[in-house]
Amino acid sequence: MGLGMENKVSVLRGIALAAVIIMAGVFVVPVIMTCYRSAGHYTELLLDCFVLYPMFWNGIFYAVIISVLQMLVIIPCAFGMVSCSFRGKKVLFFVYVMLMMMPFQVTMLPNYIGLREMGLLNTRAGIILPMVFSPFGLVVMYQYMKNINTSIIEAARLETKSLLTVLWHGVIPQIKSCITAVFLFIFAESYNMLEQPLLFLKEEAQKNLTVFISEADKYSGEILFPAAVIYMLPVIFLFIFMAEDLEKGVHFGDF
């Protein structure tokens, strides 16, 4: 009986392993083919297509600025939602979740009108500002903070009345892994944005590498594949650098 159960477990593990390998192949094979097809065309891209360089650094600039500013916003906001009890708190959180689930096409027109009224269309601020207040990071950070050790926070409050000091010494050390994971997700989302620069920017010098790849057919030669490889590098390097903390941070409590 025990031997039969062990055989069933082994079979199930084998099936699960095969499924994981197949799923990994589905994602990895296109990347390998892209790298293979890019061979021999980097000179053509790097020496003949100079518009690549400002667009690449624009993408890095937008992703870094948005990620840093959003972390500065969502950490104190999430801590406030965890620490304070007020009427309508659950309703407010539900609204954030609904906003997080909405595609960009739903909020595109309100964003466009708001930026137009503030005079921020065709500016870098018009790309950065709406992304800084994206609800995804706040929702995840709030769910993670619900499980932190409150005794450490209370001890910090006994030592100081400064909210920033409490956050720095009592909260942030407990959520470093979550911060890493959320930062990486926000960076990837900001780095990959396409609709915003296409709709809110007119000048090519302000657009990012995603726009360059989406319009690669405008340029001569086989530049799409090497551009795609270069496009992948920042997120891959950031993932490798943060892999250990990311693995810990993806466990979001009871989210």
> What is the residue type of 52?
L
pLDDT of residue 243: 76
pLDDT < 70 stretches in the chain: 1-9, 221, 247-255
The rounded distance, in Å, linking the Cα atoms of 31 and 78 is 36
CA torsion sign, 65 to 186 to 145 to 246?
Answer: negative
pLDDT of residue 229: 92
Domain boundaries, the chain: 51-249
pLDDT of residue 4: 61
pLDDT (tens digit per residue) in 69-94:
999 999 999 998 888 888 888 898 89
pLDDT of residue 254: 44
Candidate CATH numbers 2.30.30.90, 1.10.3720.10, 3.30.465.10, 3.10.180.10; the one for domain 51-249: 1.10.3720.10
With CA atoms as reference, report the closest residue to 227 among 13, 46, 3.
46
pLDDT of residue 253: 46
